Amino acid sequence: MPPGSTLDELRDEAEAWIDANWDLDLTVAEWWERLGASGWGFPTWPTEWFGKGIDNDGLAAIDGAFRDKRALGAPGGLGQMMGGPVLMRHGSEDQQRRYLWPLASGLESWCQFFSEPGSGSDLASAQTRAVRDGDEWVVNGQKVWTSGAMTADRGMLVARVDMEAPKHAGLGYFIIEVDQPGIEVRPLKQMTGESHFNEVFFTDARVSDADLVGRAGDGWAAAVTTLAFERSGRAGVVGAGFKRDAEFRTRRSELRTAKLGDVVDQGSAGRTMTVDTRNPGIAGRLSPLALVNEPGHNRTDPIRQDVTRYYIQSRVNSMTMQRARAAAAAGKAAGPASSITKLARSIATRINRDVGPAILGAGGMLAGPDAPHGGAVAHATVQAPSTSIAGGTDEIQHNIIGERVLGLPREPQVDRDIPFRELKVGTVRNEPGGGKET
């Protein structure tokens, strides 16, 4: 929060700015450009990079102003949630100058090229290769579970730049352009019927050396920072009513050219807004807190106890997330709070998965627009397993919490100091000159 300002004064200032600038005749692109230049869209970002340098308490006050005014918040996505903050911590001034404005103004959408078929929880064993070729790097390999790759402009890429170094020390972190001949994106069909995730193939794809974040071999540090922001949620962005999953249903280009009046439904179920009202789908997913008060449904004492557990878990996790975001905004290194919030979110999701169908009974198994609540409860049930996998599995979070919070011994890692070329991990065993399968 700016020195000398109270939360009420900050909120009043934000509301005055919204009153002077909010116009339903603007396109979303025009609004995001205006919002990005003002600093109100990403207020925890530094003032020199389209923010206001405020703390997390100030962010909550500003977010409340946007909600009360029913104004569309900042552009959401992995680039804004993780890419921008990572560049501010690990990137060069040139990279910050080139990329932070496109993110703050919604001109670009980014995805995350981390997981691989043979490198999921053990991200440091990634085998996608990046080989230096003059002022560029040539990338070959495969990534999987990449959210939003079909519409992304750029991707945050972890690739191996040194086969002789140990696995953690031989990685590079790049910002790579997605729309190029060497990158093929194939959607993956989920059991929800959607295709949020993709597998991505790199065949002699190219990325400039100017887009290497930090030095070659230092990619692990940037990757850890990225995961910390991912696990702690959307840090520093106002307008939480803007659902990121709307970007999966509407191409970013279509969303940018739409009028604010067309994409903002100010009367929808008490929420701040609904994006892409032509296809609302299940964006308005219901929680047990809403379902349990509906007449005619199962509301036994055990179910009410589970709903109470869900509420307590969600509120405590929200407070922990605030602490994690405040630490990140203060420039502190990634701590265990991000893993705690990620693990708590998995627990709350599983409670939601069980309690929703228990309240609705047989109706909770129905999907489609004619089902109760548009099939939102059934959708939440089949989507629930992904929460404990995406952004780092629950098992990984348990390890981090055990080691960094409880001080328990680290899991044995016999491969930590061995040159990567000698390892038998993932698919590296099939690498020419690598470890051979026996």
Residue 193 lies in a domain: yes
Q: What are the tokens at 123?
A: 């991200």
Task: Please say which residue of 377, 392, 407 terminates a domain.
Answer: 392
Q: Which of 196, 204, 197, 273 is nearest to 31 (CA)?
A: 273
Instruction: Give the residue with greater pLDDT, 213 vs 402.
Output: 213
Residues belonging to the chain: 438
Q: Give the three-class secondary structure for 154.
A: strand
Tokens 């600093």 identify what position?
39
Does position 265 have pLDDT exceeding 60, yes or no? no
- Whether residue 11 is predicted with pLDDT greater than 70 in this model: the reply is yes
**Cα gap 238→101, rounded to integer Å:** 16
More confident residue, 304 or 281: 304
Rounded alpha-carbon distances, angstroms, from residue 241 to 31, 82, 257, 264, 273: 16, 19, 20, 10, 6
- Helix, strand, coil distribution of the chain in percent, nearest 5: 45, 10, 40
**Top-confidence range, 18-22, 247-251, 264-268, 434-438:** 18-22
Q: 392: closest CA among 155, 230, 195, 194?
A: 230
User: 241 lies in a domain?
Assistant: no
CB 206 within 8 A of CB 188: no
Nearest to 104 by CA among 93, 112, 96: 96
CATH of the domain at 140: 2.40.110.10
Domain range enclosing 293: 285-392
Looking at the fold, whether 214 and 289 belong to one and the same domain comes out as no
Selecting among 199, 230, 411, 422, the annotated active-site residue is 230
CB-CB neighbours of 3 under 10 Å: 4
In this prediction, residue 425 has a pLDDT band, given cuts at 50, 70 and 90, of: low
Residue closest to 69 by CA, chosen among 11, 137, 27, 126: 11
In this structure, of 194-208, 239-253, 303-317, 323-337, the range with the lowest mean pLDDT score is 239-253
DSSP type of residue 292? T
| Alpha carbon distance 42, 119 (integer Å) | 33
Angle at Cα 103 formed by Cα 88 and Cα 100, nearest 5°?
35
| Confidence label for 321 from pLDDT (cuts 50, 70 and 90) | confident
- pLDDT-derived band at 269 (thresholds 50, 70, 90) equals very low
Q: What is the mean pLDDT of residues 161-166?
A: 96
Same domain, 202 and 289: no
215 and 291 housed in the same domain: no
Strand, helix or coil at 419? strand
Q: Is residue 272 part of a domain?
A: no
341: helix, strand or coil:
helix
In angstroms, the CA 252 to CA 109 distance is 8
pLDDT at residue 34, rounded to an integer: 96
The two tokens of residue 400 are 């981090």
Confidence of residue 64 (pLDDT cuts 50, 70, 90): confident
pLDDT score, position 331? 62
User: Is-catalytic flag, 230?
Assistant: yes
CA distance 39 to 52: 6
How many domains are contained in the chain? 2
As a whole number of angstroms, the distance between CA 42 and CA 328 comes to: 13
Q: Is the model's pLDDT at 160 over the cut of 60? A: yes
SS3 state of residue 91: coil
> For 335-350, what is the mean pLDDT?
82
Assessment of whether the complete model's pTM goes beyond 0.75 = yes
pLDDT for residue 379: 86
Minimum mean pLDDT range among 150-154, 336-340, 419-423: 336-340
pLDDT at 182: 97
Q: Does 24 reside within a domain? A: no
Q: Is the pLDDT of residue 406 over 70?
A: yes
Output the pLDDT for position 333.
60
pLDDT band of 237, cuts 50, 70, 90: low
Residue at a domain's end among 190, 219, 248: 219
Q: Would you state the structure tokens that stand for residue 326, as one six-digit string?
A: 């405040």
Per-residue pLDDT band for 319 (boundaries 50, 70, 90) equals confident
Q: Which of 133 and 28 is assigned the larger pLDDT?
A: 133
What is residue 377's predicted lDDT score, i.e. its pLDDT? Answer: 86
What value does the mean pLDDT take over residues 2-11? 76
Indicate the range of 8-22, 111-125, 169-183, 411-425 predicted with least confidence.
411-425
- Residue 31 counted as domain residue: no
Q: How confident is the model at residue 236 (pLDDT cuts 50, 70, 90)?
A: low
Cα torsion 121, 126, 128, 130 to 10°: value is 140
Write down the mean pLDDT value for the chain: 81
Question: Does 162 map to a domain?
Answer: yes
Per-residue pLDDT tens over the stretch 286-312: 567 667 666 666 667 788 888 888 888
Q: Do the strands 154-160 and 110-113 form a parallel or antiparallel pair, or are they unpaired?
A: parallel
The answer to whether residue 315 is domain-embedded is yes
- What is the helix (H) or strand (E) element at residue 140, kind and residue range? strand 136-143
Asked whether residue 104 is assigned to any structural domain, the reply reads no
Q: Based on the fold, state whether residues 204 and 304 are members of the same structural domain.
A: no
